């Protein structure tokens, strides 16, 4: 079972039994529909979206890739002052050296602040004109869905732009870049921490309930730019499928959702989601 990922990208290299349910098992006869003609699948999906009232979207790092958001999984952005992200994004690291952890997060906030929503984010905003109820369940912490204009976003792994007091528990939005470090609570003066889910931490129970309710209550469930291996978020597709929803995956290649997926649309979300909205 994989950790929730504080970088807004999928991580499957560690195990934490406190972080969610076991992965779903593929249903008999399930599987991804072949795509000899992606255009026809997109047209059918758009027709279904037009006719439905409730849509849930599980988004991951893939939707933000075209915006230039670093993945922190290999490459030149993996190290910061010779430190690995996995060694900084933990409660233990923050307890040992909150100043170092905050300097890393402040650096990351600066990187993300320079990024802009891409056509994939914009397409999900446009989706709200087709159907009455659209809920974004994002594993990303970058805030790009909100900046694009999506009205209902559940941030499964928290947000880079939220801070929480380690003393009184007060949460607040703070989008200043750079932050005065280390940041202090305006209410009690306590040390603030980033409002993200770190390695080894459980997902907030209320967030899990809201996300599960959105998945169970939707008619169409879109999986966008996530490998489907990070639990408990990956289990949301199974919840939707078992409740009768149509599940469609938009990804560069099929992820780990197996038999829960009815339709697979290959390609970058910045291209395929706008195509979905314009399909006829």
Q: Which of 185, 200, 179 is nearest to 105 (CA)?
A: 179
Dihedrals φ, ψ of 58, to 5°?
Answer: -95, 115
Antiparallel, parallel or unpaired: β 158-165 and 192-196: antiparallel
Q: Where are the beta strands (DSSP E) in 117-177?
A: 133-138, 153-155, 158-165, 171-173
List Cα–Cα distances, 200 to 6, 69, 79, 176, 179, in angstroms: 10, 24, 21, 27, 26
Task: Evaluate whether 2 touches 15 at the Cβ level (below 8 Å).
Answer: yes
Residue 274 C-alpha from the chain's centroid: 19
Task: Evaluate whether 195 touches 171 at the Cβ level (below 8 Å).
Answer: yes
Active site residues per annotation: 157
- Residues with Cβ within 8 Å of 48's Cβ and at least 6 positions away in sequence, in order, are 219, 220, 246
- For residue 23, give both structure tokens: 């992965």
Q: Which of 246, 274, 212, 228 is nearest to 44 (CA)?
A: 246
Distance CA 179, CA 191 (A): 13
């Amino acid at each position: 079972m994989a950790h929730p990922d504080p970088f807004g990208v999928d991580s499957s290299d560690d195990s934490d039994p406190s972080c969610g349910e076991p992965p779903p098992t593929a249903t008999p006869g399930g599987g991804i529909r072949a795509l000899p003609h992606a255009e026809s699948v997109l047209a059918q999906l758009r027709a279904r979206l037009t006719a439905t009232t409730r849509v849930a979207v599980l988004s991951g790092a893939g939707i933000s890739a075209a915006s230039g958001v670093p993945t922190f999984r290999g490459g030149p952005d993996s190290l910061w002052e010779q430190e690995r992200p996995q060694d900084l994004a933990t409660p233990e690291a923050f307890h040992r050296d909150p100043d170092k952890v905050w300097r890393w997060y402040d650096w990351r906030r600066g990187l993300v602040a320079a990024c802009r929503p891409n056509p994939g984010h914009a397409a999900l905003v446009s989706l709200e004109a087709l159907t009455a109820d659209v809920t974004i369940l994002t594993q990303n912490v970058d805030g790009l869905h909100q900046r694009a204009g999506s009205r209902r976003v559940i941030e499964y792994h928290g947000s880079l732009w939220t801070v929480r007091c380690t003393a009184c528990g007060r949460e607040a939005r703070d989008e200043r870049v750079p932050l005065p470090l280390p940041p202090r609570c305006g209410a009690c003066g306590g040390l603030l921490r980033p409002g993200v889910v770190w390695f080894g931490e459980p997902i907030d129970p209320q967030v899990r309930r809201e996300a599960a309710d959105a998945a169970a209550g939707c008619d169409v469930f879109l999986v966008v730019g996530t490998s489907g291996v990070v639990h408990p978020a990956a289990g949301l597709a199974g919840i939707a499928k078992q409740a009768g929803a149509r599940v469609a995956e938009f990804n560069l290649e099929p992820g780990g959702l197996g038999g829960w997926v009815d339709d697979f649309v290959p390609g970058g979300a910045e291209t395929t989601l706008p195509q979905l909205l314009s399909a006829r």
